[in-house]
Amino acid sequence: MELRALPSAGPAPASAPEPRLVVLGLPDLDAVMDIEPRAYPFPWSRGNVSDSLGRGHRARGLRCVQEGRLLAYAIAMPGVEEWHLLNLTVCPEHQGRGLGRRLLDDLVDHAVGDGSAQVWLEVRSSNERARRLYQRQGFEAVGLRRHYYPAGPGRREDAVVMRRALR
């Protein structure tokens, strides 16, 4: 029997198996684009996502074990002995159940494993939820990029630059 989520499915029941960590690439473009515009008021465009998936960045996802549906993704760019987290997104119906933290931990574990010195990211100054997650996972705010993000007609929002040192 095929199991299908209801269109307005709420958080998964506590007994559901943990989503599986998977490698993402260009074939996952549609699945990512199904989540991206629902998770952000100013989402990445299809072109942004396709560029980053096709460019060999590190893209990982969490997939529902029963349905195979993508629930969350993280895209990171390697630098010299460092990683830059470009996008961390959990689909709205599955936020607040530890998936974001799991993907962040996966990137940090990978960065530790390859000997990197640090992981960087930027986050909207108003994004309390994401900032709190990053702080809890050992990132500290080290700077501000003024007017970095679009924020509506004629408005911009600052980015907080966060870094987690690994050595």
Please list the active-site residues: 122, 134
Q: Which is nearer to ligand COA, 82 or 93 (CB)?
A: 93
43-66 b/e (C-beta count within 10 Å ≥ 16 → b):
bbeeeebeebbeeebbbbbbbbee
Nearest residue (beta carbon) to ligand COA: 100
Q: Min. distance of Cβ 32 from ligand COA in angstroms?
A: 12
Kindly state the smallest distance separating residue 115's Cβ from ligand COA, in Å. 25
d(CA 92, CA 79): 30
Residues that bind ligand COA (CB under 6 A): 39-40, 88-90, 95-101, 123, 127-130, 132-133, 136
Q: Are 76 and 86 in contact (CB under 8 A)?
A: yes
**At closest approach, how far in Å is the CB of 126 from ligand COA?**
10
Closer by beta carbon to ligand COA, 111 or else 122: 122
Pairwise CA distance, residues 71 & 120, whole Å = 23
Q: Are 70 and 31 in contact (CB under 8 A)?
A: yes
Shorter beta-carbon distance to ligand COA: residue 41 or 56: 41
